[in-house]
Every structure is written in C-alpha cells, then in structure tokens.
Chain A
Amino acid sequence: MVQYIRNRLDASFAALSDATRRGVLEQLGRADASITELAEKFHMTLTGMKKHVGVLEQAGLVTTEKVGRVRTCKLGVRRLEEEATWIERYRQLWEARFDELDKVVEELKRKEKVDGRKKRE
C-alpha cells in the first residue's frame, strides 16, 4: 500500500515539475477543455500538448474522454483517490483477516502432524 502511494506520488510530483503542466492543471481547475483548446492556450502544437496531457493522465491527475473527434480533459485526482481508497481498504480488511486465518490453519496443520505421529507410534 505504502509503495503504491509512493509510486503514485512520484508520478504526480514528476508531472508537476513542469510549468506548462502546472498551467494545464490550473486551467482544468477552472473548466474542462479539449486538447486543441489547451494547445492554443499554451501556444503549443497538438502533439506537444498530447504528450503533456499523457503525463498528467499517467499520474492520475487528469482524465480524458473522447467524444467524436474531440478529446476532453478534466481534473482527475479526486476520482482516483476514492477508487484507490475504498478498494484498498477493503483489501486490507481481508488481508488482516487472512493473516490471522493463516496462523489458525498453520496451527491446525502442526497439530495434525503431531497427532499423526502419535497415531503411528
């Protein structure tokens, strides 16, 4: 879990290290925008903007959706945060249970071996 958060944070901070990408996030904080609109706003080529958006998307900071020929970008941090939270918590609950169950079954196995030896003697 810690590793997962660390990886996500590394990706996030790396994404934030670029001034254009910070600008894009700030822009998307005000309103969703298409790649074309963002490229125009930041005086960049479409290809260049696609790359930046790709990095932000990888870091989970932005989500994009293509409708027809237009790809719309929006801030994505909240949704990913929630997703990571509840499923991971759910997993951790079961993991904690299963760690205890592990001890119980290992103990049963040990007893079985001892009893087996006794029977053979």
Chain B
Amino acid sequence: MKNRTTAERKSERELVVTRTFNVPARIVFEAWTTPKLLKLWWVPKSAGVSLLSCEADVRVGGRYRFEIGHETSKSMAFFGRYIEVTPHSRLVWTNEESDEGAVTTVTFEEEGGKTLLVLHELYPTKEALDRATAGMEEGMLESFEQLEELLVTLGASVGRS
C-alpha cells in the first residue's frame, strides 16, 4: 500500500507537503539530486505533458532548469538555483521565473529505514502564493457545481412561492 501525501497551507505565505517513503534517506535524496532519476518522476505520467529537458547542478549556487510541455507546442520552463545542499537530509532552492517565486526546502528524516519527506514552500507575499495557486482552481469540481446549481434552483423555487 502506498503512503499518504498530505498538503496544508501553514500560513499566508507557506505551503507544506509530506510523504513517507519506505526506503532510507540516502536513496530518496539520490532520486532528488540525480537529473536522470529526477526525470523519471518529476512530471507524472498522469499530467499529460512531458519533461522535455531536465538540468540540475545540485550543489550550492548550482542551477536547475526543467522544461515541460508537448514536443510540438511551446514549452514552459522552471528554473532557479540551489542555495543549500546537505547530503541525505536537506535541499533548498529558489525559483527565479519571477520575483514571486517561492523558496522551497525539502527535508529528509530517516527513521527505522523509512524516510519522512517534508516539502515546504515559502512565498514572498500572500498575494504571490494566491496567484501561484489560482491556476489550480480552474475546472471546478463537478459535484460542488451541481450542489451550487441545486441551491440556485432551490432559492428560485422558494422565492416564487
């Protein structure tokens, strides 16, 4: 059985994601810091796009650049630099696509051969976080839309009576 992934907004400017992996920290760390391994998982198959290129010079001051898209259409690039690299326990990088980019900290805590991964994103402002997550609201959940329609219909019918 796979482990649970949790996501939470910790404050106006922070998002935190956690997941436990059933392997030692050095293995998880290796998968985060080796470009040819990163390439295997950073863009999940279910996303419907592919990782066109993946460069990551994982050392303090080193740069990363991921290009995501379809072969034929325009791609999107994600880039920034690593500001902290502590083998098997901690990675910190910046995002330099705009001045609203988050600073991401990933920690790897090993216990009993398993690794708790905590990913923390800190945005410069509340507005930056809101804008970054606004895209995720696209495509509202159908069930909630149906519920809302029901409420509108209900309101209208009660109003008429």
Contact = CB atoms under 8 A, between A and B. Distances in A.
Interface of A: 5, 8-9, 12, 16, 22-23, 25-26, 29, 61, 75, 77-78, 81-82, 84-91, 93-106, 108-109, 112
A75 B22 CA distance: 44
A8 B28 CA distance: 36
Contacts, number: 115
Q: What are the 6 A-B residue pairs with the smallest beta carbon separation, nearest first? A: A91-B7, A100-B41, A96-B44, A95-B5, A86-B136, A89-B136
A112 B27 contact: yes
Contact of B42 (A23, A88, A95, A97): A97
Contacts of B3: 102
Contacts of A23: 158
Contact of A84 (B6, B46, B141, B159): B141
B72 interface: no
A16 B119 CA distance: 40
Interface of B: 2-3, 5-9, 15, 17, 19, 21-24, 27-28, 30-31, 37, 40-47, 117, 119, 133-134, 136-137, 140-141, 143-144, 147-148, 150-151, 154-155, 158-159
Given A5-B141, A87-B9, A89-B136, A104 B41 contact: yes
Nearest to A99: B2
Given A105-B21, A108-B31, A100 B133 contact: no
A25 B157 CA distance: 12
B69 to A, nearest CB: 16
A41 to B, nearest CB: 13
A81 B42 CA distance: 28
B37 A94 contact: no
24 contacts: A8-B143, A9-B143, A22-B154, A22-B158, A25-B151, A25-B154, A77-B148, A81-B141, A88-B7, A90-B17, A90-B133, A90-B136, A91-B5, A93-B47, A94-B17, A97-B43, A100-B44, A101-B21, A101-B31, A102-B21, A103-B41, A104-B41, A108-B30, A108-B37
A75 B17 CA distance: 30
